[in-house]
A and B are shown apart, each in its own frame.
Chain A
Amino acid sequence: MSKRIVIDPVTRIEGHAKISIFVDDAGNVADAEFHVVEFRGFEKFCEGRPFGEMPGITPRICGICPVSHLLASAKAGDAIMAVDIPPAADKLRRLMNLGQIVQSHALSFFHLSAPDFLLGWDTPQPRRNVFGLIGSNKELARAGIRLRQFGQEIIEILGGKKIHPAWAVPGGVRAPLTKDGRERIRQWMPEAFATTQAAFDVWNKTMETHRRELQIFGNFPSLFMGLVSEDGTWEHHGGRLRFTDSSGSIIADQVDPQKYFEVIGESVQSSSYLKSPYYLPLGFPDGIYRVGPLARLNVAEQMGVPRADAELKKFTKLGRGAVTSSFLYHYARLIEILAALEYIELYLDDDELLSDYLRADAGINSLRGVGASEAPRGTLFHDYTVDRNGLLQKVNLIVATGQNNLAMNRTVAQIARHYVKGDEIPEPLLNRVEHGIRCYDPCLSCSTHAAGQMPMCVRLIAPDGTVIREVTRG
């Protein structure tokens, strides 16, 4: 009989979660499960609404990546109308997504994750946050906050507001980039590049001092999935799906996102409201795959812009075949910020973004439409089925955090295996498990670092169900 350690709640995340760590008779960690215990019901209560409303409704799923839902939702609408949107609209959506990637990655790196590895795992919580970072490295913290602001400003310049802009619509977008807006973005560029370079310097030192973390923070073989263009270049809002394995071999390529269900299955666990997608041909749970920055860099052959390509070459050398340590999600995030900045710079010289031909018009031409876009955390799918009048009959959302669910379980188990011995729940476990999850930057990392700590209750449960040890904090 095995024992079970429960970390409950892992709260002040986007929703509530708990972690169960299963311990065998010898006191060794056998497995871990990450449960999301909050039910939000978006897929259900959107039924019956006109599909054109979805870009207004679904961004409310999250305040950190509303743009990702906005774009995936508009794209699903394009598919229902069966239209090719005007080229300017596609570029403008891409520009907003790049802004979103910059702001979200900057938030993850500077505000949420850097306090852990720059201030030290065992720094007391009142100081191990972005305010502690301001205390120890004011310039870096300030630059990081401003980099996020830059991304947010792009979103605001295009959409009219930073959070929940009602800007992308089925068929295109509602407003172009203005000349004034373009100049505002241009003024930010030198500072944004400089901050990114500073972050690379910090990260290079971190990799030297954190070799243990590289080994145990989610370092295991798995598949990786992301969008790539026709020639295998990094994609973020278009292209087709590619899966690679941990040796770096491509196992599925150029899969039309409209047919994602032919390669992705969804397993529903009774213990969690988060669904666990898997690569269908390998079955559950062998079809475990990761999405997000690490996966996108693993599936892409090149970034398509020179400076990011140079970094990608260094990154690729960190693995044999694919790069498998989830601790390197942080590095991948920085490379994506750099690539996003380079692409943004290219768009600033493209006058098509000022065009006012932005919206294609059509009725209901397909009763099912899928919108796929790379959210900062990974590939996001919105799959809508409508009736002939455009009212939603079925909604399926596959979000990045869900796709990384299995990988997060495995990461928590791997970290726990190094710290849980026998009946004891050592203090270092909590901080490291917390960071193991944070590597994936799931929605649940959002608020945990911004103020205070992740409240946790770890229970060691004996085979007969009695609690033999309990550690609570928060």
Chain B
Amino acid sequence: MAAKTLTIDGKPISAEEGATILQASEEAGAKIPTLCHLDGVYDVGACRLCLVEVTGVPKLLPACTTTVAEGMDVKTDSERLRRYRRMILELLFAERNHVCAVCVSNGHCELQTLAYNHGMDHVRYDYLFPKWGVDNTHPLFGMDHNRCILCTRCVRVCWHIEGAGTKNVSGRGAQARIITDLNIPWGESDSCTRCGKCVQACPTGALSHKGSTVGEMERDRGKLEFIVLAREKKQWVTAD
């Protein structure tokens, strides 16, 4: 495969054709913040947190879904990018009911960590305070829509890694929400295999092990990547 040369934050980089800016930036040592991206599953560019500046392109581009091109000049950090990223975080917080102090993921939440890192000391937008419920019908897991940021990681791991296709998205805009099968209580789903990959994938406290209390949800996302890699490299297939 042909290699492409480009610069990221002024650093010349060589990347494989078809690689994303996000993948190439790792080589350049640039840390681009992400939220909907999850190692092991395909990217959808949903959260817009990984937006970068590309010289010659007036709009900002998501690093996770934009492939590298010859001669590309990428900036991963600037005043403008920081302003937009903070704005995105504030909008996420305003859209649903995120109450860190009493959340199962407090201290281990990707949204919370990003907000800290981006100096989000307040939210400039009116909170919507929507009335979302909790689906606690599953014997092992709970889904709190109040804490969901619609990153669709759970949907992608369910379809792409587990292959069960239980998790889906319904509705549009702020009314969109994660559903189970054709919008039935999670506990009634026949397709759910109870594998818990969605719970491992969730960046916030939206999906949790039932019975977890404040700050108890710690996730091991490396497991998901391990499964995918092992499958691709056929590590589970014996020689005979």
Binds A, one of B155-163, B196-204, B209-217: B209-217
| CB interface residues, B 44-63, toward A, < 8 Å | none
In the complex, are the beta carbons of B102 and A56 less than 8 A apart?
yes
Asked if A311 is an interface residue, CB under 8 A from chain B, the answer is no
Of A52, A57, A164, chain B has the most CB atoms within 10 Å of the CB of A52
**Are B136 and A55 in contact, CB atoms less than 8 angstroms apart?**
no
In the bound complex, CA of A238 to CA of B161 (Å): 49
Complex contact A48–B133 (CB within 8 A): yes
CB atoms of A60 and B133 under 8 A apart: no
Q: Whole-angstrom distance between the alpha carbons of A166 and B215 in the complex? A: 8
Q: How many residues from B make CB contacts under 8 Å with A?
A: 16
The 8 A CB mask of B195-239 against A (1 = contact, 0 = none) is 000000000000000111111100000000000000000000000
Q: Does A452 sit at the interface, judged by CB under 8 A?
A: no
Interface presence of B134 (CB below 8 A): yes
For residue A49, CB closer than 8 A to chain B, the reply is: yes
Q: List 28 A-B contacts (CB under 8 A).
A: A48-B133, A48-B134, A49-B134, A50-B134, A50-B136, A50-B142, A52-B212, A53-B102, A53-B104, A53-B214, A55-B213, A55-B214, A56-B101, A56-B102, A56-B214, A57-B102, A60-B102, A166-B214, A170-B211, A170-B213, A174-B213, A174-B216, A361-B211, A389-B136, A389-B137, A389-B187, A390-B210, A391-B134
CA distance A60 to B101 in the complex (A): 9
Give the A-B contact count at a CB cut-off of 8 A.
40
Which residues on the A side are within 8 Å of B213 (C-beta)?
Answer: 52-53, 55-56, 166, 169-170, 174
When A and B form their complex, which 3 residue pairs have the shortest distance between CB atoms, in order from nearest?
A166-B214, A56-B214, A389-B136
- Closest A-chain residue to B212, C-beta based? A52
In the complex, A364 Cα to B136 Cα: how many Å? 11
Please indicate the chain A residues that have their CB under 8 angstroms from the CB of B102 in the complex.
53, 56-57, 60
- Across the interface, do A52 and B211 meet the contact criterion of CB distance under 8 Å? yes
Q: Find the A residue at minimum CB distance from B107.
A: A166
Closest chain B residue to A364, Cβ basis: B136
- Which A residues form the contact surface with B (CB < 8 A)? 48-50, 52-53, 55-57, 60, 164, 166, 169-170, 174, 361, 389-391
Chain B residues 98 to 145 lying within 8 A of chain A, measured CB to CB, are 101-102, 104, 133-134, 136-137, 142
Please state if A390 and B136 are interface contacts (CB–CB under 8 Å): yes
- The closest CB in chain A to the CB of B186 belongs to A389
Determine the chain B residues whose CB is within 8 A of the CB of A52 once the complex forms: 211-213
Closest residue of chain A to B136, judged by CB? A389
- What B residues does A55 contact at CB under 8 A? 213-214
Kindly state the separation between the CA atoms of A52 and B104 in the bound complex, as whole angstroms.
10
5 further contact pairs, Cβ within 8 A, besides A56-B102, A174-B213, A390-B136: A48-B134, A50-B136, A169-B213, A391-B134, A391-B136
What is the CA–CA distance of A52 and B211 in the complex, to the nearest angstrom? 6
The distance in angstroms between the C-alpha atoms of A170 and B212, with both chains bound, is 10
Chain A residues near B133 (CB, 8 Å)? 48
Expressed in whole angstroms, the Cα–Cα distance for A56 and B212 within the complex equals 11
Output the least CB separation between B210 and chain A (Å).
8
Q: What residues on B are CB-neighbors of A53 within 8 Å?
A: 102, 104, 213-214
| Chain A residue nearest in CB terms to B211 | A52
Q: Which residues of B contact A50 (CB under 8 A)?
A: 134, 136, 142, 210
Give B28 Cβ to nearest chain A Cβ, in Å. Answer: 40
Interchain CB contact under 8 A, B101 and A164: yes
Alpha-carbon distance between A34 and B136 when the two chains are bound, in angstroms: 42
Q: How far does the alpha carbon of A137 sit from the alpha carbon of B33 in the complex, in Å? A: 57
Q: Which residues of A contact B211 (CB under 8 A)?
A: 52, 170, 361
Q: Which of B102, B134, B142, B187 neighbours the largest number of chain A CB atoms within 10 Å of its CB?
A: B102
Instruction: Tell me how far the C-beta of A389 lies from the nearest C-beta in chain B, rounded to whole angstroms.
Output: 4
> CA A283 – CA B71 in complex, angstroms?
85
Alpha-carbon distance A371/B64, docked complex (angstroms): 50
> Which residue on B lies nearest to A387, using beta carbons?
B136
A164 proximity list for chain B (CB < 8 A): 101
Query: In the complex, what's the smallest C-beta–C-beta distance from B192 to chain A, in angstroms?
Result: 16
Interchain nearest-CB distance for B86 vs A (Å): 27
